Amino acid sequence: MKNLLIVMSGPSGVGKGTIVRELMKKGDFALSVSCTTRKPRESEIDGVSYFFITKKEFEKLIGEEGFLEYNKHFENYYGTPKKFVQSQLESKNVILEIDVDGALQVKKSNPEAILIMIAPPDKEALRSRLQARGSENKMEIEKRIARMEYELSLSGQYDYVVINDVLAECVKKIEQIILKEKEKYND
Ligand code: 5GP
């Protein structure tokens, strides 16, 4: 049985992290841990939330073609380590939680990847969520909102768009998508 490469994107603060955690509880998925050069937030743990590495280390890995995809935004690099994804795919469905540019890079090199966009029910709701998180200042929040417009404008290139209004329903919809794709893939 073949395993799926599931790529989830969505604007910052849309609740991707919570959705992914719920999916992980319900199914046998491997979650790819990305590398980043941004500083850890208070609650984040190295090796769990991200591998927090230096710019120099990141650029070395780029040179070694160690990333399935990578992107730079808000002055920081983010990338998906290639080795982990390839080895996990042999036994499990793998979830990547990455931005739109990275997702489209993955789709190009792995056309069988399933791209799922998580969208907010409305922008104001997302703005409130970002503000409630309190880890960014006002200017950063505005930058992230502009970024949200950009990310959502690329939804058309995704295989599925799921709105995160009620969490349980959103998770259920994603589970149904995965089931359907798995059946299709293994026909
Ligand atoms: P944050 O700094 O809020 O954790 O993440 C910022 C953005 O980077 C989010 O849209 C997140 O999905 C994206 N991101 C996280 N890991 C990766 C990665 O490995 N590759 C790419 N391209 N984007 C990532």
Q: How many A from CA of 187 to the centre of ligand 1?
A: 33
CB of 105 sitting under 6 A from ligand 1? no
Residue 84 CA: distances (Å) to CA of 15, 67, 113, 114, 130? 24, 10, 16, 18, 30
The pLDDT of residue 80? 97
Residue 109 CA: distances (Å) to CA of 86, 102, 161? 13, 11, 21
Q: What is the pTM of this model?
A: 0.89
More confident residue, 125 or 30: 30
More confident residue, 40 or 147: 40
Question: Has residue 134 got a pLDDT over 70?
Answer: no
Q: Which residue is closest in CA terms to ligand 1's atom 3?
A: 12
Q: Which residue is closest in CA terms to ligand 1's atom 4?
A: 12
Q: Residue 27 — very low, low, confident or very high, per pLDDT cuts 50/70/90?
A: confident
Q: How many A from CA of 179 to the centre of ligand 1?
A: 26
CB of 143 sitting under 6 A from ligand 1? no
Q: Count of alpha carbons within 13 Å of 74, Cβ hemisphere only?
A: 17
Which tokens in the block code for residue 126? Answer: 């997302």
Q: State pLDDT tens for residues 141-161.
A: 888 788 888 999 999 999 999
Which tokens in the block code for residue 64? Answer: 């070694």
